[in-house]
Each structure stands twice: as C-alpha cells, then as structure tokens.
Structure 1
Amino acid sequence: MARQLRAEQTRSTILTAAADLFDRHGYESTSLSDIVQHANVTKGALYFHFAAKEDLAHAIMELQSQASRRLAGEVDDRGCSSLEALMRLTFGLARLSVEGPITRAGLRLATGGVEARAPLRHPFTELLDLISRRLVGAVKEADLHPDIDVDAVAHSLVSFFVGTRVVGRTTEPVTRLPRRVAEMWHVLIRGLVPVTRRPRYLTLATRLEREIRVYEMH
C-alpha cells in the first residue's frame, strides 16, 4: 500500500512538473530531460509512468477535462440560472488556472497542436458544448436577447476566454486572469443581456472576481 501511494505521488509530481513546463515554455520546447530535472525524479521513474512526452500531454489534457466536467457538475448542483451557471463556470476555470498548472497547461496544449486521443474530446469542443447548453437555457429564461445566435456567441466566448489566457501568458501574471474574466463579462453582459437584467449580472461578475481574490489570500 505504501509503495502504491509513493507511485501515485511520483506520478502526480511528474504531471505537475510537466504541466508547469508545458504552460511556460510550450510542448515542443519542453524535453523529457527538462521534466525529469524539474520534477526532481529519475528517468526510470518517469518512464515507469509515461512512455513518451505525448503520453504526459494526453494525461494532462485528461485531468483538465475531468476538472472542467467536475466544475460544471458542481455549478449545476447550485440550482442557479443558466447565465449565472455559465459565469460561475468561466470564473471557476479561471480559479483552477490560478491554483495550479494543470488547467493552464491543458489550455496551452489545446492551442499548441497536441491532438486529443479518443475517447477524450478536444478541450475546446467540450467547452463549446458546456457553454452552448447554458446559453440555450439563458435564452429560455429571458436572461439573454431572444434573437442571439447561440453557436456564434459560444464560439466567441470560448475564443474570448482562451485568448485572454494566451495574451496574458506573456504579458501579466496568471493572478490577473480573474480580473480579465470579469472584464470579459462586463463587455458581454452589456451586449447580450436585456437592460432590466444587466445590474444583477454585472454585480455577479464583480462578486465572483472578488471571491477568487479572497480564496487566493487564504
């Protein structure tokens, strides 16, 4: 049992180190030797768990996918409106990105040409589905203008969210991401939400950003 626990801890250490390097330097610029050194493990330990760098990338993308689905489920359990659920989902992904490198690396790998292996779906396809379902619900609940093109808005929102991280990666610390997500929502709310419902969601965007800042302090 102790040996199994050590093996699991070693695997987690390797994945975290690889995710950190993939996020900071990119997949192609990171070697297995870099990961071994960063994780402070032997090459034998790495090869025991992962036969190739591609296996590491796939494992990270799978962890990122699991985290996204788990977050979506937790948000749905709150029983809030569809638009609030969507906002909480994006802020939750921002919080996960601040917390550790797995989510950040998953996004960078998805933009860096690393293919997702079946049955794992591409992260952006999965995110598009999560967002589209909540946009449809928000239209039905009259929190969004009834004539919006859900597919176009979903694609734009994914591009906005991912692009914010891509631009921020080289220009500002990851702790700035919640502020950028709040700014994103302030723009989207003014364009998509009927005037009478805007105050609720503008206030929510500010509150969700503040909650992440409070979480970081603890």
Structure 2
Amino acid sequence: MVQQQQRAIETKEQLLSAAAEVFGRQGYRATTLNDILGSTNLTQGALYFHFKSKVGIAEEILRRQHELSNALGASFLQSGDGGLVSIVRLSGALAAQILTEPIVRAGLRLGTESAEDLPGAAAPYRDWIEMAHELLRRADTEGDLRPGLNLEAAAELVISAFTGTQFVSAALSGSADLLERLERLWPVLLGGMAGDPGHPAVARASELVRAGASTGMDAGIPS
C-alpha cells in the first residue's frame, strides 16, 4: 500500500512537471492533454486518475505557483528591512523563482493569458498587490515616500510594472535579461514614489535586485 501511494505521488508530480513545461512554452489554449502525455511515459489512465481535465491540471499549477510566491513574499513581509528596500529585493527573489522554477513560469503565463478560462487565476495578483501595498505602507510609515502618494494605486503599478517587465523579457530574450530589466525599472519607478531621490532603494537598485535574486536561489525552491 505504501509503495502504491508513493508511486501515485510520483506519477502526479511527473504529470505536473510535464504540464508546467508545456504550459510555460505553449500557453493554456494551445496545449492539449496529449501534448502533456507526449512528454511523459504515462498512460491516459494515469492522467485521468489524478486529473479530470486540462483545467484541473492548470488550476493545480496555479495553486502551487501561488503557494511558492506567497511563501517568498511572506519572508520579506516578516523581515525588519525597510519597505522600499524590501520591495526591490522581493522583485529579485521573485525573478529568481521565475528563472529556476517551471511551475512558477507556467503559473504566471496561465494566470496572465488565460484568466477567463481559469477561475483561480486572479487570486495571485490580488495577493501580490496586497504584499506590495503592505511594503509601501511600511515605507510610508518610515517617511520614505512622497507625501500624498496613493498607496493603493502605487501597489497596483508596482505589480503591473513587474509583470509587464517579466513578459517583455520572456518575449525578447527568453527571460535571460529579466534581472537587468528590473535593475533598470526600479530607479525610474521609485523616482516618482520616493521622497528622497537618493534613497538606497533608488541608488542601489541593481545591488538590491541581485541580492534578492540570491535570496530566491538560496530559498530551496523545489523543482
């Protein structure tokens, strides 16, 4: 019985790993169940034992991507670092997840391209906006933001800018230049938010993005 349960777990993980690679490469609508099976040595029976549909597989990938990104975001929310420094470092850590974890890459593509097909697609974005909002509230309390800044709008802008940067990088370089693009993004983005243009989050954006990426790489992200 224990061996059967272990085989079932391994089969499910194999299916999800294959699906993440295919969804990440082709997107949701262009992917069929045969495409997913074709990159494994499994049968249709094995697939349908674990998942009843393509939607079910995609929803599970979205759920796992959400868990991985939320856990990483929570570590920055719980740190004692300043709000602006934390938000820049968090972007680097999330970029590291994108670069190293197929589940995260696939989840981001599924959530962005196929929201109308997948009921759970919007939840990660709401949580990321709330994470950004919390870090901006911390920065505001610390006196690091421009007076009167609309924190809700700023949080939405941060997540929109990060998501857009990630997809531009994916389209133009296969994500190879994602960190470099984030290094260029933050001084411009924070230039309109920070009360002091010489704030460390602005002046040291490149260093902070790289430090965050190292944190993401060292987080033991499972493959």
Provide the TM-score with structure 2 as the length reference: 0.86
Matches within 5 A, 1:139-218: 139-195=140-196, 197-198=198-199, 200-211=200-211, 212=213, 215=217
How far 1:204 sits from its partner (Å)? 4.2
2:221: which partner in 1?
none
1:76: which partner in 2?
77
Matches within 5 A, 1:35-184: 35-114=36-115, 115-117=117-119, 122-184=123-185
Deviations 1:60-114 (A, max 9, x none): 1101111122112222333211222222222211110001221111111111233
* Alpha-carbon distance between aligned partners in 2 of 1:213 and 1:140, rounded to the nearest angstrom: 28
Percent identity at matched positions? 32
How far 1:197 sits from its partner (Å)? 4.6
Runs of 4+ in 1 over 4 A off after TM superposition: 115-118, 213-216
1:29: which partner in 2?
30
Q: Identify the range of structure 1 (147-156 vs 202-211) with the bigger mean alpha-carbon deviation.
A: 202-211
How far 1:141 sits from its partner (Å)? 0.8
Q: Give unpaired runs (5+ residues) of structure 2.
A: 219-223
Deviations 1:155-197 (A, max 9, x none): 2111111111222222112232122222221212222212365
- Tell whether the 8 Å contact from 2:137 to 2:151 is kept in structure 1 after alignment: yes
- Tell whether the 8 Å contact from 1:107 to 1:123 is kept in structure 2 after alignment: no
- Tell whether the 8 Å contact from 2:133 to 2:151 is kept in structure 1 after alignment: yes
SS of residue matched to 1:136: helix
**CA 1:31–1:93: 2 relative to 1, 3 Å:** same
Q: Identify the range of structure 1 (101-110 vs 1-10) with the bigger mean alpha-carbon deviation.
A: 1-10
Q: Which protein, 1 or 2, shows the higher relative CO under an 8 Å CA cutoff with sep ≥ 6?
A: 2
Deviations 1:122-150 (A, max 9, x none): 22112111111111121111121121111
Provide the TM-score with structure 1 as the length reference: 0.88
* Alpha-carbon distance between aligned partners in 2 of 1:184 and 1:10, rounded to the nearest angstrom: 41
Task: Return the structure number with greater helix share.
Answer: 1
SS of residue matched to 1:175: coil
How much is the aligned-residue C-alpha RMSD, in angstroms?
A: 2.3
Question: Amino acid of the residue matched to residue 109 of structure 1?
Answer: L
Question: Amino acid of the residue matched to residue 106 of structure 1?
Answer: G
Count of residues in correspondence between the two structures: 214
